[in-house]
A and B are shown apart, each in its own frame.
Chain A
Amino acid sequence: MARKISFKQAVNEAIAQEMRRDETVIVMGEDNVGGMGSDGERDAWGGVLGVTKGLYGKFGDRVMDTPISESAFIGAAIGAAACGLRPVVELMFVDFMGVCFDQIFNQAAKFRYMFGGKAVTPVVVRTMIGAGFRAAAQHSQCLYSLFTHIPGLKCVIPSSPYDAKGLLIQSIRDNDPVIFFEHKLLYGLESEVPEESYAIPLGEANIVREGDDLTIVAIARMVHMAHQAAEELVKEGIHAEVIDPRTTSPLDEDTILESVAKTGRLVVVDESHPRCNMAADIAALVAQKAFGDLKAPVTTVSGPHVPVPFSDALEDLYIPNPAKVKDAAIEVLRYAK
């Protein structure tokens, strides 16, 4: 199991293995094939960053290009799911999701509930998130908190190639609509990934490292920032526990609460905009359910409440980094009533 593959390859492999296992799995999205219907090279793109490249060669017309009309093709994917297929549909950047909120929030998320359980919507919407790509305010957000807000949607946010494969396989097998968030700066990250298929249950946090002094909960790329901060803290004799919730809906509350019961101190690192984000949500959870365990106020690390800047210097300043996480951890540890 020494094979290492990238996050991007892990996503591709998960889709390919599920397509092989279950013929109702289909793939659609803008340029997910690339050049479909034209005379030129087929399978030229595989999506804007090439994640689905090669699938058309393996599965032919089960992989299809869509027009640049998110409201139409996301609606089509949701309809296909309600009628028995398992579409894995790509919506390039989460920032564009606004044009199809009705299809996602009011249709897909509500079918099972409003039809008394007689309808299922096994659709997976894959989408890219995250700053640091020098792609400006309309291509850099981490909008998972918006979707976590809506009952009926499952929100999956992997931070490693291993998790990406196992969580995507589980998402495809799940009968509810899943929004699958891929941080574009993680695509090149490599780790050990089994060649066999495997599924990671939704709603099970990963304890990235164990520690007794404080708990750091982090999401997506921020897991790596938290991990680096924790390694720095060890040099000062501080042992941080780092928890990656992996899915924000359902959220593994128990793992977070059990960790805080042990450490009494919590820092939440969330790249998304600071108001009403997952950091605020998890801070509220711990304040309500673990107040008695807390030895210090919960601290959150997120960017300022502004659009992601286009200037390189400002964008770097905007994104939480290990130094900021470490500072927050030390602040929480120094707190005295």
Chain B
Amino acid sequence: MSLIYPVTIPKWGLSMKEGKVNRWLAKIGDSIQVGAEVVAVESDKIAGVIEATGAGVLRRQIAKEDDVLPVGALLGLIADNEVADSDIDAFVAEFQSRFIPGQTEEAESAAGPETLKVLGRNISYLRRGDSGEVIFLIHGFAGDKNNWLFNHEVLAATNTVYALDLPGHGNSDKAIDDPSLEGFVRVIFGFADALKIGQLHLVGHSFGGATSLAAALQGTDRIKSVTVISSAALGKEIDAQYVRGLTRTNSRKELKALVGRLFANEGLVTRQLVEDLLRFKRLDGVQAALESILSAFLDGDQQRVVLSEKLANLAKPIRVIWGEKDRIIPASHAALAGADVHILPNAGHMVQMEAANEVNKLLQF
């Protein structure tokens, strides 16, 4: 029997309650492959694309463009042409009668972010999933665990996934005892110790990539693999003006322009994304924390630490993912000897957000 695949409003991150239908990318009657882009949706934080989870024909577009609908709401249906219209109508009626907006929300809110004392400081993290491999997601400079909102749930379907807020970031304590890469590596191992986690995989973005690579170089068997995304520490070049601006400005307008540089498509930057960054930057201690990382990280207008040569002798799987249009750290840095390298077109520095579906497909453990 042919299956009917519903297309629904996804939940991108803890705070997402509803999404706006921006544009249908497939027409009724279009043949749809698994992974094909079906509809563009926007949360208050970010715009994204929903892909088909099953193959067939787009039979119904239930939501109209500009509709604002709760997480989980039915947008459309994919099914083979041989599925009768009456079966599809019955499926819709059944779905709608069972659908209660906010129900998934409440079930999940029980498992919000948690806090752990690591080396005397509070580290905030979000855990999802409880099977397969243990994966740590490490965000970049001035980022936080929400940078993984498109990836975390997907990975957690088959793994146990922790997204951390590094010291000085997100909801973790803002004091940074040691702003060097080694200092952050100690926090990551300390975090794993506190949770009695043995072996794990690291996935790091940008500065978090540099931290992950530095952790792998410590020569322990604990790190099974490292995936770095638009990573620091693989070359000297970096948009130092961006990093300094991000540290020092508190103007909404300047921040918006800076955040735009993170994406190939600046239209993805919503008012809320900039507002959240502003709110983070206003917290006491954040300015000092970012300044301390900056002085350890930058040497003039270049990156101080380059780990590429040391990594050449590392007997561990390394996966490198980059956005071809990265304006912060050039994609040429992806050419790491011995690594499994993927350069994604039409994506900037925040590849894991901008090309989330492609990145998620690459993140196999």
Contacts and interface: CB of A to CB of B under 8 A. Distances in A.
Are A and B physically bound partners? yes
A194 B279 contact: yes
B269 to A, nearest CB: 11
A198 B282 contact: yes
B145 to A, nearest CB: 11
B43 to A, nearest CB: 15
A139 interface: no
Contacts of A204: 250-252
Contacts of B174: 196
Contacts of A196: 174, 283-285
A2 B250 CA distance: 23
Contact of A207 (B14, B252, B284, B285): B252
Contacts of B271: 207, 209-210
B283 A194 contact: yes
Contact of B282 (A166, A207, A210): A166
A197 B171 contact: no
Tell me if A's interface is mostly helix, strand, loop or mixed.
loop
A209 B271 CA distance: 8
A167 to B, nearest CB: 11
B112 interface: yes
B14 A199 contact: no
A166 B174 CA distance: 17
A224 B283 CA distance: 25
A60 interface: no
Contacts of B109: 2
Contacts of A162: 279
Nearest to A162: B279
A255 B252 CA distance: 10
Given A201-B250, A204-B252, A210-B271, A2 B283 contact: no
A255 B251 CA distance: 11
Given A201-B250, A204-B252, A207-B271, A2 B282 contact: no
Interface string B8-33: 00000011000000000000000000
Contact of A198 (B15, B112, B252, B283): B283
A320 B283 CA distance: 35
Nearest to B109: A2
Contact of B284 (A1, A198, A201, A209): A198
A200 interface: yes
A2 B111 CA distance: 12
Contacts of B284: 196-199
Which of B14, B253, B282 gathers the greatest number of chain A CB atoms within 10 Å?
Answer: B282
Contacts of B283: 194, 196-198
Interface string B244-273: 000000111100000000000000000100
Given A199-B284, A204-B252, 10 more contacts: A2-B15, A2-B112, A166-B282, A194-B283, A196-B174, A198-B283, A204-B250, A204-B251, A207-B252, A255-B252
Interface of B: 14-15, 109, 112, 171, 174, 250-253, 271, 279, 282-285
Interface of A: 1-2, 162, 166, 194, 196-201, 204, 207, 209-210, 255, 258
- Please give me the 7 A-B residue pairs with the lowest Cβ-Cβ distance, nearest first: A198-B282, A197-B284, A198-B283, A210-B271, A196-B283, A199-B282, A200-B282
